[in-house]
Structure 1
């Protein structure tokens, strides 16, 4: 079998091929058929043999089995066992072949690590549970660190760890040490380590959610959110975002903890990374959602902390994911009178909302229309000049486009109502924007 390999130079990471040595140079290299996975036809990096005697690359055969297949892809025999035996002989031959062809830019495949097994995960979970009961902080941290290292090795390891109830065990450990009589600061390193692992373990089991969503655990997370390092704070908001999406009770419990609003706003005002900013905005969105018991007090507190102008500043040049979440938060804030008053005061509000319509995403457009609808509906006499400002910003034309491109009934009703309000104001105004892009309008034929 002949396969064309471009001469490439390995990247600094060592495991990836990244750039051409010579864009016009190609070398034909013969790759032995038995070095290639029968499923992907790529060079095998971690060859394993099934009970049928056929060798595959581990990643490919695992995907085949996880998809529900119970037969060998090549022989079509029913697999009596799903055990995958590492084929060290083939792997060594492939590595030697790579070394021999190094001059052609072929990189030697690294010796793969042996994947973690269900038995190993169960054993370490049992040891963590025992250490937790003893209050052995040091032992728990070492064991959690081992789980973290396993997860870094491969996605396969992560799946094995998650599927064997590790999330519930770690949630219980977090709860136990967060509620310890000893100062939480004494256990901060362990709590940080647990959160760094829990970020990729959702959704947790029911027991794990109850432990992690308890007032005690949430209190420990808020303490880390206010006092932890950047990495810890990022992990906290990611876990909070996942947790709040699962149960309304967690939202109400979190809202009662002193200082949580300040900590979340600080995460947005002093951003760590886009992931942390998105998670913080999502957490705030859940806290001010209409279903939250303490929605009024939460919204008022966020308004007092200057969240409205902060969000408008973010919307100026934020990327899509952040824009969607920021608009979602502003939608919730504008349900309150004080939230709308803050929006009326800011000169950026209407121009930014009109600009973001049809530019971010369907969800972003829906949020922007909803906010404008709330502002205009509660300002029918246009005391704050919202309607006039919206007309001058080109909102009338954009609402027409929204109706043309198709939307849900709720959004259609809001856009129609806004058009009626704006139509009254547009008489005598030259509000047509010649630069308006009508490419989304449907043709009449």
Structure 2
């Protein structure tokens, strides 16, 4: 195995610096030289000169002439190198495919070396990925190894392999079957908990993604919901991380799992409303990638009484919802409008309506009404306008009817 691995690694080629364009740093396809003797890729130097520069980019010498001369010798050398590199790449893929086949057919026990080799093979080519994904017996053995593993590193590597091949529908369905069939205390869900507690950020993200697609299957979702400690660890991951992809992955997973009232109540107890409020009130640019997921979670928990109570009790959360309208995506705006409608129109919470008005929420709702939103969202905005105007006083009716045409979205 070690010999095969070295063979694969030795086939990687480094691009010689002589073959890189000093401007783009890419391999030159049509090398040409200036009168200074420096060679560039034709497209790069022509762009430089077209901008009005009269100097050599590498030496900053003033050019007495901007004429270029094709460097035919260097061009032939680059073409030869490209041919050799392509041959080496094909050879590496063949070696990699053979190594993958050997591991798939022979692995009864998994160690870090064999799993790292599988990961390398899968990354090498689409064919290798399909080869591993379509090997049902191999996937079953990996999941079994994950369920029995007490080594966090082995668990992380297996999760990385599963995440890589999970784009294949057959793998998703197989994992769903294995989760449903496994009813022992020692199962892969227990390993997921261990990774969420002690794993690297990258492995936690991959675990959250696997849990998210498993939650699309009702029976697997039920097992995830009932697994003691899993929801808690997933929430901790979502709330404790500052890495944007990590927070987004955690919230996406929670959103997929939280479909029943008990799960929503547990998330509320854990403090999801405060977590989302913190996200929505954070730096605008840093939070934009997770805003849609955060508002989606709020919309989900707002479907139960406990959720609405928790949201209207957190003024920062309500303010964050209003400020997020029209700032992210259409879906995020629609999530936010739905939550505000639930607070202000469904349960007629006066405190929430006052908070919305304080942060210019009426104008925001009017802007949403003029945007390309769904019919249902527009209707909820209409209801919100009536409630907010009633709260503010009838004197606002004329401005609403006569002055909205000039308002443009942020």
Q: With the length of structure 2 as denominator, give the TM-score of the two structures.
A: 0.72
* Whole-angstrom CA distance in 1 between matches of 2:154 and 2:188: 13
Task: Give unmatched runs, 5+ long, in structure 1.
Answer: 12-16, 37-41, 49-56, 59-85, 87-110, 290-294
- Structure 1 position 272, deviation (Å): 5.7
* Whole-angstrom CA distance in 2 between matches of 1:222 and 1:315: 27
Aligned to 1:195: 159
1:228 aligns with 2:199: yes
Q: 2:233 pairs with 248, 263, 266, which one?
A: 263
* Whole-angstrom CA distance in 2 between matches of 1:28 and 1:213: 65
Structure with higher helix content = 2
Cα pair distance change 1:386/1:163, threshold 3 Å: same
Aligned to 1:371: 339
* Whole-angstrom CA distance in 2 between matches of 1:425 and 1:416: 14
Deviation digits for residues 57-90 of structure 1 (CA, Å, limit 9, x no counterpart) = 96xxxxxxxxxxxxxxxxxxxxxxxxxxx3xxxx
Q: 2:316 pairs with 348, 354, 377, which one?
A: 348
* Whole-angstrom CA distance in 2 between matches of 1:430 and 1:233: 50
Q: 1:121 pairs with 86, 93, 97, which one?
A: 97
Consecutive aligned runs of 4 or more in structure 1 exceeding 6 Å deviation = 22-27, 42-45, 429-434
Q: 2:329 pairs with 337, 361, 370, which one?
A: 361
Deviation digits for residues 17-46 of structure 1 (CA, Å, limit 9, x no counterpart) = 99x65688888452559959xxxxx97974
1:145 aligns with 2:113: no
1:399 aligns with 2:375: no
Cα pair distance change 1:427/1:147, threshold 3 Å: same
Deviation digits for residues 133-182 of structure 1 (CA, Å, limit 9, x no counterpart) = xxx233xx432211222345xxxx241222224364553133212344xx
- Structure 1 position 249, deviation (Å): 2.6
Retained in 2: the 8 A contact 1:211–1:217? no
Retained in 2: the 8 A contact 1:373–1:414? yes
Two-structure CA RMSD over aligned residues (Å) = 3.8
Map of 1:67-82 to 2, 5 A cutoff?
A: none
- Structure 1 position 120, deviation (Å): 5.2
- Structure 1 position 406, deviation (Å): 2.3
Map of 1:25-424 to 2, 5 A cutoff?
A: 28=68, 30=70, 32=72, 46-47=82-83, 86=87, 112=89, 114-117=91-94, 121=97, 124-125=100-101, 127-132=103-108, 136-138=109-111, 141-152=112-123, 157-166=124-133, 168=136, 171-180=139-148, 184-185=149-150, 187-204=151-168, 205-206=170-171, 208-210=174-176, 213-214=179-180, 215=182, 216-244=187-215, 246-271=216-241, 273-289=243-259, 295-316=260-281, 317=283, 318-380=286-348, 382=349, 384-424=350-390
- Structure 1 position 313, deviation (Å): 0.3
SS of equivalent to 2:167: coil
* Whole-angstrom CA distance in 2 between matches of 1:286 and 1:8: 46
Retained in 2: the 8 A contact 1:281–1:326? yes
Question: Which structure has the higher relative contact order (CA within 8 Å, separation 6+)?
Answer: 2
Q: With the length of structure 1 as denominator, give the TM-score of the two structures.
A: 0.67
Retained in 2: the 8 A contact 1:224–1:233? yes
Cα pair distance change 1:158/1:370, threshold 3 Å: farther
Aligned to 2:409: 440
* Whole-angstrom CA distance in 2 between matches of 1:190 and 1:326: 32
Structure 1 range deviating more: 347-356 or 120-129: 120-129
Structure 1 range deviating more: 220-229 or 400-409: 220-229
* Whole-angstrom CA distance in 1 between matches of 2:342 and 2:376: 13
* Whole-angstrom CA distance in 2 between matches of 1:411 and 1:198: 38
Aligned to 1:103: none
Cα pair distance change 1:45/1:406, threshold 3 Å: farther
- Structure 1 position 355, deviation (Å): 0.8
Task: Give unmatched runs, 5+ long, in structure 2.
Answer: 1-19, 27-40, 45-56
Aligned to 2:22: 7
Retained in 2: the 8 A contact 1:350–1:389? yes
Deviation digits for residues 115-136 of structure 1 (CA, Å, limit 9, x no counterpart) = 423x85376345335422xxx2
